[in-house]
Amino acid sequence: MEIQKHQLFATEIYTTNFESSEDVNKVILEQFDASIEHHTVSHHNSIRYENTYVPIQHVPAVQAILTSAIAVTSVFTKQQFQIDENNWWFNNMTGGDITDAHGHSPGPVWSGVYYAKVPAGSGKLYFTYNRMHIKEPNFYKYIGHNFQDVEITPVEGMMIIFPTWLDHRVGMQQTNEKRISISFNMRYPHGIL
């Protein structure tokens, strides 16, 4: 597996593409669809519920993705991290859906996303920096930014890992076919946050 390093805004993000992801993705998507009665949702915006939580016992194939994320992160950090059972979720997007600009700090150190299903016309991932915003606990108001976003076109089997403070968003889904990804946050095993 080849891990590529990218320099953005004086920080780094990491991308990798998983070999044989087609087989893993097929199982993940089957388990996701079969577990619908166990789905819970949160983070409602004006368009949709952004996060879909499913207990790991109902989608055990996701464990391979989470374990790989920890392994990949330990390669470039030389440190060990963990993903708590309540700190990963599915993003299930369809036509017209977007995800507003946000970050995942404080608390975790690294965030990531893995793409299980990315049909043509799927929303792209955008990273931005030097954002003007009001960011307080339980309140985030975006009031513009003055830095060009960096665009990443997701593909099935791609994993992206980035610092949790790095603001990101997802552009509008241009197709009614589902775009399904798995997002996660990593923290130090014995962190105080």
* Stretch 55-80: mean pLDDT: 96
For residue 11, what pLDDT band results from cuts at 50, 70 and 90? confident
- Cα 120 from Cα 100, distance rounded (Å): 21
DSSP tag of 56: G
pLDDT single digits (tens) 23-63: 999 999 999 999 999 999 887 666 666 789 999 999 999 99
Looking at residue 75, its pLDDT comes to 94
The CA dihedral of 168, 163, 193, 187, to the nearest 10 degrees, is: 110
Looking at residue 106, its pLDDT comes to 81
Sequence-distant (≥ 6) Cβ neighbours of residue 149 within 8 angstroms? 126, 127, 128, 169
Looking at residue 107, its pLDDT comes to 81
Give every strand in the sheet of 99-102, ordered side by side. Answer: 99-102, 168-170, 125-127, 150-152
Looking at residue 9, its pLDDT comes to 60
pLDDT single digits (tens) 129-180: 655 554 555 555 554 555 678 899 999 999 999 999 888 999 999 999 999 9
pLDDT single digits (tens) 88-118: 999 999 999 988 888 888 888 999 999 999 9
Looking at residue 137, its pLDDT comes to 54
Looking at residue 17, its pLDDT comes to 94
Residue written as tokens 């775009």? 179
Sequence-distant (≥ 6) Cβ neighbours of residue 45 within 8 angstroms? 99, 100
Looking at residue 140, its pLDDT comes to 54
pLDDT of residue 67 exceeding 90: yes
